[in-house]
Amino acid sequence: MVKLVTVGAITVTAQAHSSRNRHETQQRSGDFYLATSGDFLLATSGDFLMTTDRPAGVSTALSLRDCGLHPLLLDRADAVGASWRGRYDKLKLNTCKQFSHLPNRPYPKSTPVFPARDQVVDHLDRHAHEDGIELRLNTEVRRIDRRNDRWWLHTTSGDIGCSQVVIATGYEHTPRIPLWPGLDRFAGQLLHSSDYRNPVPYHDKRVLVVGAGSSAMEIVHDVATGGAAKAWLAVRTTPHIMLRSLPGGLPSDLIATALFHAPVWLADAVAEFGRRVSIGDLSAFGLPVPADGVFARGIRLGRAPAIVDKNVVQAIRAGSFEVVPTVGRFDRDGVWLLNGHRLEPDAVICATGYQRGLEPLVGHLGVLDKRGLPTAANAAPAAPGLRFIGFQSRPGLLGFVAKQSKQIARCIAEELSSSASLRPVR
């Protein structure tokens, strides 16, 4: 029997021994017992479900379980889906439930087309606890090294040696706030969008939201319609905007996923036609149609469109919030925009993206490109026994991750069954 240990999102392997050898090779490391009999470890630094839509750790663990392997999930958080639990109250998936569920585990029929935050958390939590996966939380992987033909994971619970590793820490890992000039002098409230929950604290306040993605638009709409005295959206690069549901109720991610495989010029032409029909021209409200196509931009910059509901577009047209140029600098009581105008917000919410956060883990191994992204994709290893999952920027990523996790699990299962050279940690 092969035992797997799943530490958030990094994976390792060795063959099982008899129960006597299993007992003899169990090792104590701090407060963490490492059962080294057939140690397949799937580990992650940070939550294995990262902001908005990447439960790659749980997906991989379940796919391994479906291949007859027995994973143990380790994560630094104290609960499955911690990053989803902490996001804003109105968050929901940008992709439909039919193609956003864990591998071979659909959402209940009663779930709406676009599952809400708490429904996603329940989906992840339920299958992580009920589908034969052993969980070990409050364990963080800080660095991975290669030594003596094995991978060594340095965790807060001690070092773990293993043969294969799958990293699934997520495309969006570490919140990023630009270091604007004067930021340290600003006396108002400053927070990242990952810390925003609901508009209650901003009632009768002036709020500036910085960013142009889905979260930025949904948050500025939330505060503007939730009682804020004034709301602005500061935009550097005009975003492509798509509705979650097209006219007739068709989920837009179904079309976008199909177009992803079409020639870029054709995909962009279809997407632009859809925008004209469903959204129209927002130039008069500070959001002109970008010169480049949505798919061309995605390929060139890895930048996704802002996906929103129709009420956000209606709020833009109604002037519920004002679109302004992005931030240039701060002073004690205000924010200077790049056009020279000055605002005096009580709070600034930065929906300014995330960093991958892979450098501390594997930056020294030569498996990342200059953007900090893995050099290998799909089920291919970046180094012998080292794989990544969930780091692509593409439509329908959740469904793609579920498919990719199955490929990775099959590859690892085949390697385990065919390799006689794997040995347990001693």
Domain limits of the chain? Answer: 3-173+355-418, 177-352
Helices (H), 169-309: 214-224, 252-259, 264-278, 294-301
- Per-residue pLDDT of the chain (426 residues), as tens digits, is 333 444 444 333 333 333 333 333 333 332 222 322 233 445 443 322 222 234 788 999 899 899 988 776 778 888 888 878 889 999 999 999 999 999 999 999 999 999 999 999 999 999 988 887 878 788 888 899 999 888 898 989 888 888 878 888 877 778 999 999 999 999 999 999 999 999 999 999 999 999 999 999 999 999 999 999 999 999 999 999 999 998 788 899 889 989 988 999 999 999 999 999 999 999 999 999 999 999 999 888 878 899 999 999 999 999 999 999 999 999 999 999 999 999 999 999 999 988 888 999 999 999 999 888 899 877 889 998 898 998 877 777 888 889 999 999 998 888 877 764 444 444
Look up tokens 């450098």; give the residue.
359
CA dihedral 22, 23, 26, 30 (to 10 degrees): 150
Q: What's the pTM value of the predicted model, to 2 decimals?
A: 0.83
The superfamily in CATH containing domain 177-352 is: FAD/NAD(P)-binding domain (3.50.50.60)
**Contact criterion met (CB below 8 Å) for 218 and 88:** yes
Q: How far apart are CA 29 and CA 284, in angstroms?
A: 62
CATH for 3-173+355-418, options being 3.90.870.10, 1.20.140.10, 3.50.50.60, 3.30.1360.10: 3.50.50.60
Q: How far apart are CA 399 and CA 417, in angstroms?
A: 27
Q: Which residue type is seen at 90? A: K
Domains 3-173+355-418 and 177-352 share a fold: yes
